[in-house]
C-alpha cells in the first residue's frame, strides 16, 4: 500500500517501515524473555543477561550489540517494558537499591509546612512513606503493580496512610494547582521534555516544590543509559516553565539506585 504513494515514498518509506518492524520484533523478543526470567534485584544486569541470552541463541556479538542498542532506544520511548522490568525487580527478595528516603528530598522538605505531595513513579514508596510520616498528604503512582503492593505494605507497617495508584505516567492525571510538592526520583521516562515539565508546573500550587534526582549524561553521549537525563536539558526546561531554581547540581555521587558513584542531576525548583 505504501508503494502507491509515489516514487519517493516507494523507495524511502518501505525502508523506514522495515526498520520499524525490525525494532518492534526485537523489542517484543526482549519483553517475551523478560516475562520468563526469575525476579532480579539488580536492574543494571538485565541488559547484560539479555545479551548473553541472545548470544546463546546463536547471534553474533555484532547482532547481539545491535539488538541491545534497539532495546535501549525503545526503553526511552516505551512504557510497556518498565512494568515488566520493575515487577521483576520488586519481586526479588533483596533490593539492590536504597530503601531509605532520598537525601535531596529530605533536605528539600526540612522545615517546610507539610501539604499535598505527589510521588511520581513511587516504586516501593520509600519517599511516600517518609513524607507521610512527616505529615504530608501523599499520593503516588507507578506502572509496577508489584511496587504499588510493596508501597502499600510499607505504609501500613509504618502506620501511615498513602494513596498508591497503579497507573502509567501517560495515564495519570496530574491535575491543575493540586500539589505542594512533586517528587521525581530516578524516573526512566523523559522528565526533561518541555511539555512534561510544563505539565508538572501546571499541577503545582504557587510556592510548590519540584524535586528531581536522576542518573545523568549528555544527550548523544556514547554509552548513554536509557534512564539518564541531560542536566542542561533539565535546567532549560525548568527555566522555560518559569520555575525558580532553588538548587541545581550536576555532580558525581552515589546513586540510590545503582549504589555506585556515577553522574547525577539534582534539582529543587519552586513554582513562582
Ligand atoms: C528506578 S525506579 C525509582 C522508584 C522511586 N522513584 C525511587 O526513587 O525509589 C523507577 C520507577 O518508575 C516506574 N516507572 C517507569 N516508567 C513509568 C511510567 N511510564 N509510568 C509510571 N511509572 C513508571 C517504575 O515502575 C519504577 O518503580
Q: What pLDDT is recorded for position 2?
A: 29
Pocket test for ligand 1, best of 142, 166, 186, 256 (most atoms within 8 A of CB): 142
In this structure, which topology does domain 103-271 adopt according to CATH? Rossmann fold (3.40.50)
Helices 61-77 and 46-56: crossing angle in degrees, nearest 10, is 140
| Cβ-defined contacts of 243-251 (< 8 Å, 24+) | 243/201, 243/210, 243/269, 243/270, 243/271, 243/272, 244/269, 244/270, 244/271, 244/272, 245/269, 246/108, 246/209, 246/270, 247/104, 247/108, 250/216
Ligand 1 center from residue 272 Cα (angstroms)? 27
The full 3-state SS of 38-85, as one line of letters, equals CCCCCHHHHHHHHHHHHHHCCCCHHHHHHHHHHHHHHHHHCCHHHHHH
The residues lining ligand 1, judged by C-beta closer than 6 Å to any ligand atom, are 79, 82, 86, 121-123, 126, 142-144, 147, 168-169, 185-189, 256-257
Q: What pLDDT is recorded for position 10?
A: 32
Pocket test for ligand 1, best of 87, 123, 124 (most atoms within 8 A of CB): 123
Read off the pLDDT of residues 21-79 as tens digits, 9 standing for 90 and up. 899 999 999 999 999 999 887 767 888 999 999 999 999 999 999 999 999 989 888 88
- Find, among 188, 183, 166, 174, the residue nearest to 82 by Cα: 188
Ligand 1 center from residue 94 Cα (angstroms)? 18
Ligand 1 center from residue 125 Cα (angstroms)? 10
- What single string gives the DSSP state of each residue in 92-127? SSS-SS--SPPHHHHHHHTTPPP-EEEEET-TT-HH
Read off the pLDDT of residues 136-195 as tens digits, 9 standing for 90 and up. 999 999 999 999 999 999 999 999 999 999 999 999 999 999 999 999 999 998 899 999
Could you tell me the pTM of the whole model? 0.90
Question: Where are the extended beta strands (E) located within 101-195?
Answer: 116-120, 137-142, 163-166, 179-185
Residue 132 grid coordinates = 507521610
Which range among 18-32, 50-64, 111-125, 236-250 shows the weakest confidence by mean pLDDT?
18-32
Count CB-CB contacts under 10 A for residue 267: 27
Ligand 1 center from residue 62 Cα (angstroms)? 31
Nearest Cα residue to atom 13 of ligand 1: 121
Residues 42 and 94: their CA atoms lie apart, in Å, by 9
Report domain extents, the chain: 2-77, 103-271
Top pLDDT among 88 and 230 is at 230
Amino acid at each position: 500500500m505504501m508503494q502507491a504513494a509515489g516514487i519517493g515514498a516507494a523507495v524511502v518509506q518501505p525502508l523506514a517501515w522495515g526498520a520499524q518492524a525490525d525494532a518492534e520484533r526485537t523489542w517484543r523478543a526482549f519483553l517475551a524473555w523478560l516475562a520468563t526470567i526469575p525476579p532480579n534485584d539488580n536492574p543494571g544486569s538485565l541488559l547484560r543477561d539479555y545479551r548473553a541470552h541472545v548470544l546463546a541463541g546463536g547471534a553474533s556479538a555484532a547482532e547481539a550489540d545491535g539488538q541491545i542498542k534497539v532495546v535501549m532506544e525503545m526503553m526511552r520511548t516505551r512504557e510497556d517494558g518498565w512494568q515488566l522490568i520493575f515487577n521483576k525487580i520488586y519481586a526479588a527478595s533483596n533490593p539492590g537499591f536504597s530503601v531509605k528516603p532520598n537525601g535531596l528530598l529530605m533536605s528539600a522538605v526540612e522545615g517546610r509546612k507539610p501539604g499535598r505531595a505527589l510521588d511520581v513513579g513511587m516504586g516501593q514508596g520509600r519517599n511516600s512513606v517518609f513524607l507521610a510520616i512527616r505529615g504530608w498528604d501523599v499520593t503516588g503512582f507507578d506502572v509496577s503493580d508489584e511496587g504499588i503492593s510493596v508501597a502499600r505494605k510499607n505504609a501500613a507497617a509504618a502506620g501511615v496512610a498513602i494513596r498508591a495508584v497503579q497507573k502509567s505516567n501517560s495515564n495519570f492525571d496530574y491535575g491543575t494547582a493540586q500539589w505542594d510538592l512533586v517528587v521525581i526520583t530516578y524516573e526512566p521516562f523523559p522528565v526533561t521534555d518541555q511539555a512534561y515539565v510544563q505539565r508538572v508546573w501546571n499541577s503545582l500550587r504557587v510556592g510548590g516544590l519540584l524535586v528531581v534526582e536522576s542518573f545523568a549524561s549528555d544527550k548523544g553521549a556514547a554509552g548513554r543509559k536509557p534512564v539518564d537525563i541531560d542536566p542542561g536539558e533539565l535546567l532549560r526546561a525548568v527555566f522555560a516553565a518559569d520555575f525558580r531554581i532553588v538548587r541545581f547540581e550536576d555532580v558525581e555521587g552515589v546513586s540510590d539506585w545503582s549504589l555506585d558513584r556515577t553522574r547525577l542531576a539534582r534539582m529543587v525548583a519552586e513554582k513562582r
